[in-house]
Chains A and B, each alone.
Chain A
Amino acid sequence: MDPSEVEFLAEKEMVKIIPNFSLDKIYLIGGDLGPFNPGLPVDVPVWLALNLKQRQKCRIVPPEWMDVEKLEEMRELERKEDTFTPVPSPYYMELTKLLLNHASDNIPKADEIRTLVKDIWDTRIAKLRLSADSFISQQEAHAKLDNLTLMEINTIRSLLLDSLNCMFKLRSNLQPGSSKGQFMDY
């Protein structure tokens, strides 16, 4: 999956905006939005929030977890634990990037937030690389990955899956006459 496709999914998450215009309810195929009244908060999907923000029709309210103290705590916890800690949002990385790139003026301490989220990401990806390495070398057949986000899984996807499939191919060719011995070569 392309990272932009993961971002596409992240854009469906809801975020609060403060519009500066009036509009009655919109009946989208995916659900109803609004009504919109100047100054009154309303929940919309991120893809719409970004579009409205770019057209200067709203202010974006950062999600609760996008707060320096909360993120510092999460970073400490993530660094302490060997396993993956629960994430503030299944799309924390994408939402941080999207909201900070388009609405940093609406987010207090945006630079600190960017750094904190990157630190959390780096710690988790380092753990993921270790897990993937051990999964392959121990030749495990199953793993539970509850707290991993789609973006993190996607980062390791092709390396992990291609290695595992390659190893399976090599192993099954050791046994002559094993079924499904015909695989595509890349």
Chain B
Amino acid sequence: KTMSDVLSDDGSINQDDSQEDVMTPAELIAKLEEAWLNEKFSPELLESKSEVVECVMEQLTHMESNLQRVKKGDAKASVHRMEIDRIRFVLSSYLRSRLQKIEKFFPHVLEKEKSRGEGDPSLLSPEEFAFAKEYYANTETYLKAVALKRMPPNLQTVDLLKAVPEPCLDSFVFLRVKERQENILVEPETDDQREYVVDLEEGSQHLIRYRTVAPLVSSGAVQLI
């Protein structure tokens, strides 16, 4: 069998359980890359993009199983394999970025996830939530075993929420504008400066504090670069 025989469908995804909007595979990969860059450059952990991750995994698994059925040395197989490797790289890097931030900010991440509203999007995937809880428990156990139990009785607890620094939302970020935004407030750096507003034209690039643009990153109106 050749790749041509095996790949006869038009490749569009979500044909069965279409809870989400139907996206072309190309759009899906673009969404993954956007999520990857945003997560890489954002000072805080962003919303979990589980649907994108799951769909990409599906596409990769589907393509890989097709490749298994093809005879060795098929001309197209190596091209497909190269593409799969590239997508896997982005996916792994994205998930690693998130894990790094979960480890760095673990008490805050858990607190935020526990206190979010019913309809609010998840900060963590189920697996990430389990990981964060384990990390918290392990850190507590470790600190207790290594130091705390030897402290005087009134100093044997540590409030991890206070002890672990929060993400610095005032970090500066670079961004590219996808949807025009008007009247974005720029806060002054020094006391003798005044605040002012800027318009973000579509396609323009800016350097600005993350705090002001955090909701725009969430909504997809800007892309961190």
Chain A residues close to B by CB (< 8 Å)? 1, 5, 8-9, 21, 23-24, 26-31, 33, 47-48, 51, 135, 139-146, 148, 150, 153, 157, 160-161, 164-165, 167-169, 171-172, 180, 182-184
Contacts and interface: CB of A to CB of B under 8 A. Distances in A.
Given A141-B189, A153-B174, 6 more contacts: A23-B75, A47-B86, A142-B207, A145-B174, A164-B172, A184-B104
B15 to A, nearest CB: 15
A180 B170 contact: yes
Contact of B165 (A1, A9, A161, A183): A183
A135 B206 CA distance: 13
B63 A29 contact: yes
A139 B193 CA distance: 9
Nearest to B11: A27
A157 B11 contact: no
A140 B188 CA distance: 8
Q: Is the interface of A mostly helix, strand, loop or mixed?
A: mixed
B114 interface: no
19 contacts: A1-B40, A28-B83, A29-B25, A29-B59, A33-B79, A135-B207, A141-B186, A141-B208, A142-B198, A142-B206, A142-B207, A143-B208, A144-B206, A145-B207, A153-B174, A160-B207, A164-B172, A168-B171, A180-B169
A182 B165 contact: yes
Nearest to A157: B174
Given A139-B190, A140-B189, A28 B206 contact: no
B82 interface: yes
Nearest to A131: B207
